[in-house]
């Protein structure tokens, strides 16, 4: 499992931009790091209660991340087309990365499953990657843990701010 101080696994993935149901671009972590620190917020599945709450907490704090030149990306195994609809439905203003092949959740060690017949989902987790590609912060939700997402997002913002 990837932990603080490790080099973040490099990856490329389809990126839902939310501009339309079919708006998909290619994302590369190494290229994104050229523009500042990256927050990867893994969530199990679009349109579920906890995932919506988590992503909306990030949405509500986007101005604070933008002030720090940090980029936030949601990451799930959902297809980008579903992520685009999820973004539109919830007014999410940051891109979603599709890991339908499960390569990213495996590389980061955040595989959750089986769950209701679905073998591999993303485990709810957050990684902050600094511009050198090093994991500066990691949070993993423990099974059964109740999470205050506003508090979590504030902690993530503070970790990003500490990189400056």
> What are the catalytic residues?
51
- Reference 129, options 15, 12, 25, 34; nearest CA is 34
- 80: CB partners within 8 A, 6+ apart: 14, 15, 16, 24, 96, 98
* Cα–Cα distance, 56 to 31 (Å, whole number): 26
In whole angstroms, how far apart are CA 138 and each of 11, 32, 141?
18, 18, 10
Phi and psi torsions of 49, nearest 5°: -55, -55
Strands 38-42 and 71-76: parallel
């Amino acid at each position: 499992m990837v932990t603080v101080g490790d080099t973040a696994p490099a990856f490329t993935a389809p990126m839902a931009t939310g501009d339309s149901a079919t708006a998909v671009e290619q994302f590369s972590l190494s290229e994104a790091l050229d523009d500042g620190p990256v927050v990867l917020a893994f969530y199990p599945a679009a349109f579920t209660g906890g995932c919506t709450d988590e992503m909306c907490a990030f949405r509500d704090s986007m101005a604070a991340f933008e002030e720090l030149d940090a980029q936030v990306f949601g990451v799930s195994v959902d297809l980008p087309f579903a992520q685009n609809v999820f973004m539109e439905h919830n007014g999410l203003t940051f891109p979603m990365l599709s890991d339908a092949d499960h390569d990213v959740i495996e590389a980061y060690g955040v595989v959750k499953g089986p769950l209701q017949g679905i073998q591999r989902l993303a485990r709810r987790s957050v990684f902050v990657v600094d511009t050198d590609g090093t994991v500066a912060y990691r949070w993993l939700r423990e099974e059964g843990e109740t999470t205050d997402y506003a508090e979590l997002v504030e902690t993530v913002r503070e970790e990003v701010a500490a990189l400056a």
